[in-house]
């Protein structure tokens, strides 16, 4: 097994067992602000599998997102609906996509590359968001990353992995003819 496989295995063990290291990390993260820029990724193996490189132009941010479906407006006009439509509603966006959008708003000169889960407790979830600076020379001169120069707010347009999943376009080929440009796009267009 490679070194990154061992790192990934140890991170998975700490996640499932919720051991001492995991609890200590949670205690420290609860005291931090909602969005924190990091020197390097917590889970280097996962970050590298998603495109992270230890070079200039890359940045990693840890983002905290509140769990739950969020506050829904309670109907206050007309007849009272039996169940109100307030509780147990699922958002169309995943928590991971919300974390990517928060990071995009905070670091306006960067583009979101990808993100991954770090930790969660009863109230919050934490994700690490990998970002790149499209105007940095080391990114512009990298043939595999030069596409970032023309990218515009990928997270907000649902172009990241979490965004494509929420749009329902992760699969390609036969059987997916009606999913493009997105599962809910036809409804939004009013057709």
Q: Are 101 and 78 in contact (CB under 8 A)?
A: no
Which one is predicted more confidently, 86 or 66?
A: 66
Which residues are 131's β-sheet partners?
A: 59, 112
Average pLDDT of span 138-164: 92
Average pLDDT of span 53-60: 96
Chain mean pLDDT for the chain: 90
- DSSP class of 74: P
How does pLDDT run across 78-133, given as a tens digit for each residue?
888 888 888 888 888 999 999 999 999 999 999 999 999 999 999 999 999 999 99
Task: State yes or no: cis peptide before 181, omega within 30 of 0.
Answer: yes
Domains of the chain, residue spans: 3-148
How does pLDDT run across 165-182, given as a tens digit for each residue?
998 899 988 988 888 888
Q: Alpha-carbon distance 152 to 41, whole Å?
A: 24
What is the CB-side half-sphere exposure of residue 72 using CA atoms within 13 A? 13
Which one is predicted more confidently, 63 or 146?
A: 63
Average pLDDT of span 149-169: 92
Which residues are 61's β-sheet partners?
A: 37, 129
State the pLDDT confidence band at 66, using cuts at 50, 70 and 90: very high
State the pLDDT confidence band at 156, using cuts at 50, 70 and 90: very high
Q: Alpha-carbon distance 153 to 150, whole Å?
A: 10
**Secondary structure of 69-84 in the HEC alphabet?**
CCCCCCCCCCCCCCCC
State the pLDDT confidence band at 190, using cuts at 50, 70 and 90: low
How does pLDDT run across 27-48, given as a tens digit for each residue?
999 999 999 999 999 999 999 9
Could you say which of 3.40.190.10, 3.40.50.720, 3.60.20.10, 3.40.1120.10 is the CATH number of the domain covering 3-148? 3.40.1120.10
């Amino acid at each position: 097994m490679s070194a990154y496989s061992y790192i990934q295995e140890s991170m998975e063990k700490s996640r499932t067992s919720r051991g001492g290291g995991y609890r200590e990390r949670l205690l420290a993260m609860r005291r931090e602000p909602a969005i924190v820029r990091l020197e390097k990724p917590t889970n280097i193996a996962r970050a590298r599998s998603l495109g992270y490189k230890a070079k200039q132009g890359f940045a990693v941010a840890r983002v905290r997102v509140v769990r739950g479906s969020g506050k829904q407006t309670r109907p206050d006009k007309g007849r009272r609906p039996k169940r109100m439509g307030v509780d147990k509603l699922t958002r169309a966006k995943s928590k991971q996509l919300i974390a990517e959008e928060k990071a995009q708003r905070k670091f306006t000169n960067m583009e979101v590359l990808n993100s991954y889960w770090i930790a969660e407790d009863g109230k919050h979830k934490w994700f690490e968001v990998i970002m790149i600076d499209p105007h940095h020379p080391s990114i512009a001169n990298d043939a595999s990353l030069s596409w970032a120069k023309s990218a515009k707010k990928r997270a907000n347009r649902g172009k990241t992995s979490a965004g494509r999943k929420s749009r329902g376009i992760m699969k390609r080929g036969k059987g997916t003819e009606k999913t493009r440009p997105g599962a809910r796009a036809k409804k939004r267009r009013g057709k």
